[in-house]
Amino acid sequence: MIVYTQLNARRTPDARVDEISRESVHYHLSIPSGKADKYRLAQLDDYAQFSRGRFPHRPSLRLSLLARASSDSIAGTWGFGLWNDPFGLSLGLGGSPWRLPALPNAAWFFGASEENYLSFQESGRGPLAPTNAANGFIAQTFRAPKFHPLLILAGLAFPFSRKMTRRLLSRVIAEDGVQLWNYKDRDSSATSKLVDSRSVDPTQWHRYRLEWSLKRASFEVDEVQVFESLVSPNPPLGLVIWIDNQFAAFTPEGKIGFGVLANPERAWLEVKEIELE
């Protein structure tokens, strides 16, 4: 097992990425409280300096780390895992890598507030997406090609029917996921409840492990497998650990929403003992 130290910090001016211990690769990422007036981000990654085709990771790979979050209902998104930064845009100016938006490829543990809807599938539809893990705390995978002819139809359909566009995208983007904590499971006092035996309280320290191979992705929490999928993302991917106040939603009803959220309190994500092999 290799302790992974090839991480670079990125943050908005009012956020923080604090290195607590270099030896144990221990970091504290935080964004301040604030109104829904600007984007706030604290992030560690190992791909920012590369074009997407030169991202550093390919299967087979195992990622392991200890993590805890400040709340089970952080306004925005947070998490850790592997992805292709599909929404990143860079025109290569100022020495930055050339990077245009792409379809998503990812395998990660993902926290998304209830304003988010991060699934293109309908519940129970799609041979590789039997669940509808769209927000909450998720173990999730996406696999998509660089291009597919149905994308042309999706683009043509978008001005007339977002439902149809979403349905076409679901045929291009394979996804799978399971909710480890669900926002719908709340009692009258708004106290979160765990979903089932796989459920995880993200505010407590847990050892998370992700194994990525060409034909499968496996997720473990505290050495217990919580999810396994045949939807394995296409390489190459980069490692990302982040917390921010953004949301994005494309619901089955065809409603699209994106933007930033107010943070009633300072929010943070703490990680340590990051290992990669």
Q: What is the pLDDT of residues 137-167, one digit of tens each?
A: 999 999 999 877 777 777 778 788 888 888 8
Cα within 13 Å of Cα(204), Cβ side: 6
Predicted local distance difference test score (pLDDT) of residue 132: 59
Alpha-helical (H) ranges within the chain are: 150-157, 162-172
**All residues at 6 or more sequence positions from 186 whose CB lies less than 8 Å from its CB, including other chains:** 192, 193
Burial of 135 (0-12, 13-18, 19+ CB in 10 A): buried
- Please give the residue that has the higher pLDDT: either 43 or 131: 43
Q: Which residues pair with 260 in a beta bridge?
A: 246
- Check pLDDT > 90 for residue 197: no
CATH classification code of 8-276:
2.60.120.200
Predicted local distance difference test score (pLDDT) of residue 251: 87
Other C-beta atoms within 10 Å of 58: how many?
12
Indicate the range of 136-140, 178-182, 261-265 predicted with least confidence.
178-182
Q: Give the domain ranges of the chain.
A: 8-276
Could you give phi then psi for residue 79, rounded to 5 degrees? 155, -165
In this structure, are strands 106-112 and 77-83 parallel, antiparallel, or unpaired?
A: antiparallel
Q: How far is 169 from 176, CA to CA, in rounded Å?
A: 14
Q: What angle do CA 134, 259, 171 make, to 5 degrees?
A: 40
- Check pLDDT > 60 for residue 201: yes
Burial of 164 (0-12, 13-18, 19+ CB in 10 A): middle
Cα within 13 Å of Cα(82), Cβ side: 31
Q: Which residues pair with 239 in a beta bridge?
A: 82
Which of 20-24, 133-137, 164-168, 252-256 tops mean pLDDT? 20-24
Predicted local distance difference test score (pLDDT) of residue 8: 94
- One-letter amino acid at 188 equals S
**All residues at 6 or more sequence positions from 256 whose CB lies less than 8 Å from its CB, including other chains:** 162, 249, 250
Cβ contacts of 25-28, under 8 Å, gap ≥ 24: 25/271, 25/272, 25/273, 25/274, 26/270, 26/271, 26/272, 26/273, 27/241, 27/270, 27/271, 27/272, 28/268, 28/269, 28/270
Number of H helices, E strands in the chain: 2, 18
Average pLDDT value for residue range 81-85: 97
Helix (H) or strand (E) holding 276: strand 267-276
Tell me the pLDDT band of 121, cut-offs 50, 70 and 90: confident
**All residues at 6 or more sequence positions from 263 whose CB lies less than 8 Å from its CB, including other chains:** 31, 32, 33, 34, 40, 75, 76, 245
